[in-house]
Amino acid sequence: MNNEVKRALEVLRKLIKAYPDAPKSYLEFKNPFEMAIATILSARSTDAGVNKVTPELFSKYPTPKKLAEADINEVAIIIRPTGAYNRKAEYITKTARMILEDFGGEVPKTIDELVTFPGVSRKTANVVTQVVYDVAEGIVMDTHIMRVSLKLGFTKHEKNPEKTEKDLMLLLPKNKWISYGRFIGTHGRRTCKSRKPMCSICAVNNLCPSSEFKN
């Protein structure tokens, strides 16, 4: 095991200890169908924003069949606060139909299948497979995870999620991929913030080459 792998594992160990309450997802959901739809809505929107509209959406359309048969304009009105609502309404109603027609009413468990849905990227598919099925085919990439990984020196790719993910997959053992996304993401939200990183209270400041404060 080389020094960089050891550092990455030590960072992860410390963050797991620092954030025992880190959620598996900041999106609220009750089943795989709700998670798949919520992740599509989360594109260019905050998780908090999505969580504000999904209770009404899933109350009115609780199953793939109900959503597939929904009036797309009514769906668009409900999800309007998430942005790009006309496009997203089209995406989620079509996804619901595909779940019914192509996958027997069940949300698929692989990235290759999930990315066939409109509006589902590799990042979105990773979220669904990991959060819902506890299966890791990759590492979730969002702005927090990409930013913190760059600061920690685990990647040099600032704006390329595919290359960042590849770097991290090569660095970390597969059984750490889910934990990495969960705890690095939480660290980015709570401490290593984009505008003002809180280096003085950071649990891994002694392991971070970008830190302004070393314990």
Q: Which domains does the chain have, with CATH numbers?
A: 3-22+141-207 (1.10.1670.10), 32-133 (1.10.340.30)
Contact between residue 11 and residue 19 where contact means Cβ atoms under 8 Å apart: no
* Short-list 66, 73, 5, CA closest to 37: 66
pLDDT by residue for the chain (215 residues), tens only, comes to 799 999 999 999 999 999 999 999 999 999 999 999 999 999 889 999 999 999 999 999 999 999 999 999 999 999 999 999 999 999 999 999 999 999 999 999 999 999 999 999 998 899 999 999 999 999 999 999 999 999 999 999 988 999 999 999 999 999 999 999 999 999 999 999 999 999 999 999 999 999 877 55
This prediction's pTM: 0.87
> Can you tell me the distance from the alpha carbon of 178 to that of 174, in angstroms, rounded to the nearest whole number?
8
Sign of CA dihedral 183, 204, 173, 151: positive
Give the list of residues 6+ apart from residue 129 with CB closer than 8 angstroms, or none: 109, 110, 111, 114, 135, 136, 137
Which residues are known to be catalytic? Answer: 123, 142
- State which amino acid sits at residue 51: N
